[in-house]
Structure 1
């Protein structure tokens, strides 16, 4: 009976520690995400993807203000600023980039037009989180 009690105490202690660690990590991860300001390369979706399903389940709309990002939660709202001309737009993350990708973000064609880089195809941007899903 003593062995069973010791085993039970060890098991409960392990579960408690695991729960504490996962809660702590979740708080740190969310805190880090709310402070994200990153710079990198942006591109925009090709017209051939118009109407195709995104990771969120929505159809991609080239006339919408949406984006693909690999680590931010679906539904996150971002301010994307073109570092070459200082134009900004607000987009919602509704898709993921293809792996592996050197780009920070892909935006819809409308967002790319407003950012002023459709003819260039790529540009350097800064992203700032405005709200989490």
Structure 2
């Protein structure tokens, strides 16, 4: 009987801790934590996607300042900074990356041009949340 009670106590404690963590993370994301920063690889959309529908339902425009990210809510505004030249641009997340894509973010062609990596195709960036979607 003691082993059963000990197991039950451990299970309750684990669930409580996971719930607390989930609530804490949700509150930070809802408040638009401007301390959120991630660094990773960025690429940009191929021209063939121009005019296609994004996950948000918007039509992809290579001349707009938009991006695809797999975790941040659609509508989130981000500052993307090219770590090589320190150029930055503000984009709105309106699409998702392919599941197999290991990059942090895909940006529109216009954003890639402003960030200065149009010819390179890839660059290291950091992203910062300005406002949550």
Q: Which residue does 2:26 correspond to in 1? A: 29
TM-score by length of 1: 0.79
Within 1, Cα distance between the matches of 2:77 and 2:23?
20
- Residue 49 (str. 1) matches residue 49 (str. 2): yes
Within 1, Cα distance between the matches of 2:64 and 2:23?
31
CA, structure 1 residues 47+73, in 2 after alignment: closer, same or farther (shift >3 Å)?
same
Q: Which residue does 1:9 correspond to in 2? A: none
Cα RMSD (Å) of the superposition? 1.9
Kindly report structure 1 stretches of 4+ aligned residues shifted beyond 4 Å: none
Match of 1:63, SS? Answer: coil
Q: Which runs of 5+ in 2 are unaligned?
A: 1-14
1:2-49 alpha-carbon deviations (Å, 9 max, x no partner): xxxxxxxxxxxxxxx99xx48x72442341572320000000000000
More displaced 10-residue stretch of structure 1: 83-92 or 97-106:
97-106
Match of 2:70, SS? Answer: coil
TM-score by length of 2: 0.79
Total equivalences in the alignment: 114
Structure number with bigger Rg: 1
Q: Which residue does 1:124 correspond to in 2? A: 124
TM-superposed CA distance for 1:99, in Å, is: 0.7
1:53-109 alpha-carbon deviations (Å, 9 max, x no partner): 000000000000000000000000000000000000000000000012210000000
Match of 2:57, SS? Answer: coil
